[in-house]
Amino acid sequence: MPTTPLSDFHVASKDLPWKVLRDGYHFKLLRTCPVTGAWVALFRTVAGASVPSHKHIGAAEYFVLKGKIEIRGGVEHGGVTAHAGDYGYEPNGIIHESTHFPEPCEYLFINHGPLQYLDADGKTTLVLDWMGVQAKWDEAPVAE
């Protein structure tokens, strides 16, 4: 039986273009893994951007490089306000009704499974897994 060789994986993110995920929200896809379903991306947002309501179908981790993220309404509403230099862990099964970027932000996002996007009634509108993220990267235009 063949053995998969161990090797390092390196991405020079400065050499990757920012691509448009949606208006005011750009990304650089750093890695996808068909074995585990994990994916890693850098995100860059404009002030006022937000992430639609979603449920984590796999844990996620983030590290804020610039700016601020208000998760579940921010600390003023019982959620989390993450600033540049902050790290966060989001467990499998957690629901985020509101994730908002009150100022321009850049953050590293490591996702260990799909995201299930929800409408106002809690019904699934999209399940975004590693294949979906890869397809978005492959099809997305380069940001100006």
Residues 3-27 pLDDT 10s: 556 788 889 999 999 999 999 999 9
pLDDT for 109: 97
Task: Return the domain boundaries, the chain.
Answer: 17-139
For 61-95, how does the pLDDT look when each residue is reduced to its tens digit (9 = 90+)?
A: 999 999 999 998 889 988 899 999 999 999 999 99
CATH superfamily, region 17-139:
Jelly Rolls (2.60.120.10)
Tokens of 15: 């050499």
pTM surpassing 0.85?
yes
pLDDT for 108: 98
Evaluate if residue 114 carries a pLDDT over 90.
yes
Evaluate if residue 58 carries a pLDDT over 80.
yes
Strands 25-32 and 87-90: unpaired
